[in-house]
Structure 1
Amino acid sequence: MPHPDLQQRIADAATAHQAAVVADRRHLHAHPELSFQEVSTQRYLASRLTDLGIAHRSAGGTGLIAEIQGEQGSGPTIALRADTDALPIQEANEVEYRSQNPGVMHACGHDVHTASLLGTARIVQGLRQHFAGTVRFLFQPGEELLPGGATLMIRDGALENPRPAAIFGQHVHPPLPAGTVGFRPGIYMASTDELYLTVRGRGGHGAMPHQAVDPVVISAYIITAVQQLISRQTDPTLPAVLTFGRIESEGGATNIIPNAVHLQGTLRTLDEAWRAELKLRLRQLVSSLAIAMGGQAELRIADGYPFLRNDPGLTNWAWDEARRYLGEDRAVELPIRMTGEDFAFYTHHLPACFYRLGVGNAGRGINSPVHTDTFDVDESCLETGTGLMAWLALRSLVHSR
C-alpha cells in the first residue's frame, strides 16, 4: 500500500477511535492497581480485546499478550509494549475520572500507555487486510516494582515464537506538549539498583558518647565517603549517581544514641561493567569504614533494571517515520536521563525503541511532573499515541523484511 494512503487510513482511524480511547483511559485512571496486583485491569483489557476479536493470553501473572496477524501473508513480528500498574499516591486532582482507590493513582501515565496501546490494537485490527506479518501487543504489569514485569513477560514467552524483529514502547513526558514526541538513539536511561544499608554500633547516653559506638556518626561518614566513588573513581565522561534518600535510626532521641541506623538509596549508571564494579567497591568501602569506626555495616543490594539502550538504526528510522507521520517539527531529540525503566530488559534482547509522548498543555495548567499527586495529561495526546504507534508497527513490518 502506498505510504500516503496508509498514513491517512491510520490518522483517520486514530481520530475515529479517540472517544473510545479516552473512555478507556478514564476507566483505567479511575481504577488504578499497584504493581503485580492488576487483576481488574487485566480483566478489563481482556474483555476489550475479546470484543475486538483479538486473540490474547495471560502472561507475567497479571499481564496479557495479544496478537494480530495480517491477511496479506506471513512476515516479521513487531512487538509493542505498554505498562499497566499504578503508584502508591493519593490523587489530589478534582476530575470526574479521579482515582476511586484510596492511596493508589496512575501518576506515571501508565493508564495513557495502556489505553493508547489498546487504541493501536483497534487501528491495526481494522487494517489487517492491508499488511503481512504479525503485530504483538504486550500489556505488561509491574513496571514500578522489582523485579520488573518485563522480566516476567520475557519469562512467559513475550519475545519468542517467533522472535520479534523489533519492539517499541512509549512513555508520557509532561515537558513536551501534547501532539509531539521525543527520541534518543543509543544509551538513553540508567540502570537502577536499590541499596539497603544497616549500620550497627552500640547505643548509649548522648552525653556520654565515649561509652557508645555512634551509628549515626558512622552513617554520616559513609554517606559522605561513598560519594567519592562517583566523583573520584568513576570516569568523568560516564554518568553515575549514588543517592541515599531515606535514613532512620533504630530508636534514638535528642539524648539517646541508637543501636543501629537504616539507610535506603539508589545506585545508577550507564555501563554494565562499571555498574558491577561500583557495587563491589561500595561494599568494600562501607564495610571497611564502619569497622574502622568501631561498628559494623550490612549492605544489601537489590539488583534492579539494566541501562536502556535504544537501537540507533531502529530509533533513527522511527524518528524519521514520526516526522513523516506527525510533521517535521513535532518529533524532537531527547537528552540522556538517569531515571530507570524496566523496558530496558527488552532492549538487551532485541532491537528496541523507547520514545516519549508529549502530554503537557501549559495553557491549561497541565504540566505537573510524573509521580506527583496532581499529574494529568492533555487527552489529545491519546490520538497521537495510538496513531503513531500503529504507523511505526505497520511500517516496521515492511522495513524489517
Structure 2
Amino acid sequence: MPESQLIPRIQALAAQYAADTVAIRRHLHAHPELSFEETNTAAFVTQELRKLGLTPRPIAGTGVVALIEGRPGGPTIALRADMDALPIQETSDVPYKSTNPGVMHACGHDVHTASLLGAARILNELKGEFKGNIKLMFQPGEERLPGGASLMIKEGVLEDPAVGHVLGQHVFPHLPAGKIGLRSGRYMASTDELYLTIKGKGGHGAMPEMNLDPVLVAAHIIVAAQQVVSRRASPKIPSVLSFGKVIANGATNVIPNEVYIEGTFRTLNEEWRAEAHQHLRQLCEGLAASMGAMCELEIRHGYPYLENEPALTARVRAAAEQYLGPENVVELDQWMAAEDFAYFSQAAPACFYRLGTRHEDGRFAASVHTPTFDIDEQALATGPGLMAWLAVQELARQA
C-alpha cells in the first residue's frame, strides 16, 4: 500500500478501535498491580493478544512478549509498554477508579499497555503491508529496582529474532492530547539510591560533651555532599543530589545514637556517575570519621541514563510529523527523572518519546506519581495509531 494511503488507513483503524482501547485502559486502571506482581494484568494482556491470533509467552516473571510476523525477509523491531502501578491511594472520583486500595496507575502505565495493545491490533491487520517482524514487549516492574527491562534483556527478549531498534512511549501531562514530544541524544538521567547510617553516641541533650552527636554529623554531611555536584562535577554534565528522608529518632532533650538518611543521585554520564560514587563514599565516611563518628553508605545502583539514538530519533520525528502534522511534534528538554527503558537504549538503538495527555482547557494536568493523575482519553486516539505508523515506517527504512 502506498505511503499516501497507509496513514489514512492506520488513522481510520485507530479511530475504529478507539472505544475498545479506552475500555482496555479503564479496565487496567481499575485493576492496578504493583511491580513484579502484575499477574492478572499479564493474564489480561495474554488474552487480548490471543484474540488477535498471536502466541504470547511469559518473560521475566510477569512480563509478556509476542511477535507479529509480516512478510518474510525483513528486520525485527520492538515496541515496549510497561504494566506496573504505584503504591498510591487514588483520590479522583471517576468510574474507573482503582479498586485496589493503596495501588494506582499514577504513572500512566495503563495508557502504555492499552496503546500497545491497540497498536498490535492495527499492525496485525496490516501485516501483509510490511516486511519483517514487530516484537511486542509488555514489561513488568518499571517502578522498582532492578527494573523489568533489565530482566527481560537478560532472558533474551531482544534475541530470536534479534531486534534492530526499540521504540517506547510515555504519558506527558505537560503536553495536550494529540501532540508528542521527543529529544535526540541523552534524554533522561541515571538513578542511584543512597542509604546512609551515621552512628555516634546518644545521651542527654543537656550534656553534649558526654555524647557524640550523630545529628550534627548528619547535618554536615548533607550540606558538604552537595559539593560533589557543585565542585566535583563538570558544569557540562547535569547532576542532581537530593536527600529526601532523614530520621533522627531522639527528642527535644535526647541525642540519638544514630541518624538514618535516604537520597538519590542522578546524572547523564556513566563515567562521572562511577566517579561520583567514589567521591560520595570518601566524603561521607571521611567527614564522619573526622568528627569522631562513623558513616555507612550503601549505594544501590539503579537505571542507566537514557539515550535516544540520534539517527533513529530523527526518523521518528519525521514520521511523527507526517502522521500528526509538524505543529504537533515538539522538542523536549533533558529530564532528570529516570526510566528503565534506558536499559533498552543501552542494548540497541532506541527512541523514547512522550505522549501528550492533557486537555487543551487545562484539565488532566496533574503530574504523574500523584493521587489525582488522569488523562484526556483523546490521547488513546493518538498513541496506538502513531506507534503502529512508526513501526511500519521503521521496518520499511531498515528493509
Question: What TM-score do you get using the length of structure 2 for normalisation?
Answer: 0.99
Residue 97 of structure 2 corresponds to: 98
CA distance in 1, matches of 2:381, 2:55: 24
Where 1:305 maps in the other structure, the secondary structure is: coil
Of 387, 390, 395, which residue of structure 1 is paired with 2:388?
390
Where 1:55 maps in the other structure, the secondary structure is: coil
CA distance in 2, matches of 1:303, 1:117: 29
CA distance in 1, matches of 2:16, 2:60: 32
CA distance in 2, matches of 1:170, 1:365: 21
Paired residues of 1:78 and 1:136 also in contact (CA < 8 A): yes
Where 2:232 maps in the other structure, the secondary structure is: coil
Residue 233 of structure 1, CA deviation = 0.9
Residue 29 of structure 2 corresponds to: 29
Matched letter for residue 293 of structure 1: M
Residue 58 of structure 2 corresponds to: 58
Residue 130 of structure 1, CA deviation = 1.3
Residue 4 of structure 1 corresponds to: 4
Residue 171 of structure 2 corresponds to: 172
CA distance in 1, matches of 2:47, 2:373: 28
Where 1:73 maps in the other structure, the secondary structure is: strand
Matched letter for residue 237 of structure 2: L
Residue 345 of structure 1 corresponds to: 343
Where 1:300 maps in the other structure, the secondary structure is: strand
Residue 275 of structure 1 corresponds to: 273
Residue 19 of structure 1 corresponds to: 19
Residue 49 of structure 1 corresponds to: 49
Residue 356 of structure 1, CA deviation = 0.2
Where 2:106 maps in the other structure, the secondary structure is: coil
Residue 362 of structure 1, CA deviation = 4.7
Residue 78 of structure 1, CA deviation = 0.8
Paired residues of 1:55 and 1:68 also in contact (CA < 8 A): no
What do the CA deviations read for 1:306-365 (whole angstroms, capped 9, x no partner)? 000000000011001100000110000000000000000000111100000000015262
Matched letter for residue 345 of structure 2: T
Matched letter for residue 350 of structure 2: A
> 1:77-156, aligned counterparts within 5 Å?
77-156=76-155
Residue 303 of structure 2 corresponds to: 305
Paired residues of 1:198 and 1:299 also in contact (CA < 8 A): yes
CA distance in 1, matches of 2:28, 2:278: 42
Matched letter for residue 330 of structure 2: V
Runs of 4+, deviation exceeding 6 Å? none
CA distance in 2, matches of 1:132, 1:323: 23
Residue 74 of structure 1, CA deviation = 2.1
Residue 257 of structure 2 corresponds to: 259
CA distance in 1, matches of 2:156, 2:13: 30
CA distance in 2, matches of 1:192, 1:178: 29
> 1:58-77, aligned counterparts within 5 Å?
58-70=58-70, 72-77=71-76
Matched letter for residue 45 of structure 1: V
Residue 73 of structure 1, CA deviation = 2.1
Paired residues of 1:195 and 1:265 also in contact (CA < 8 A): yes
Matched letter for residue 219 of structure 1: A
CA distance in 2, matches of 1:94, 1:370: 17
CA distance in 1, matches of 2:121, 2:363: 31
What do the CA deviations read for 1:243-298 (whole angstroms, capped 9, x no partner)? 1100112x311110000111000000110000000001100000000011111000
Residue 180 of structure 1, CA deviation = 0.2
Residue 208 of structure 2 corresponds to: 209
CA distance in 2, matches of 1:28, 1:114: 8
Residue 366 of structure 2 corresponds to: 368
CA distance in 2, matches of 1:266, 1:381: 32
Where do 5+ consecutive residues of structure 2 fail to align? none
Where do 5+ consecutive residues of structure 1 fail to align? none
Residue 359 of structure 1 corresponds to: 357
CA distance in 2, matches of 1:186, 1:26: 34
Where 2:347 maps in the other structure, the secondary structure is: coil
Give the length in aligned residue pairs. Answer: 399
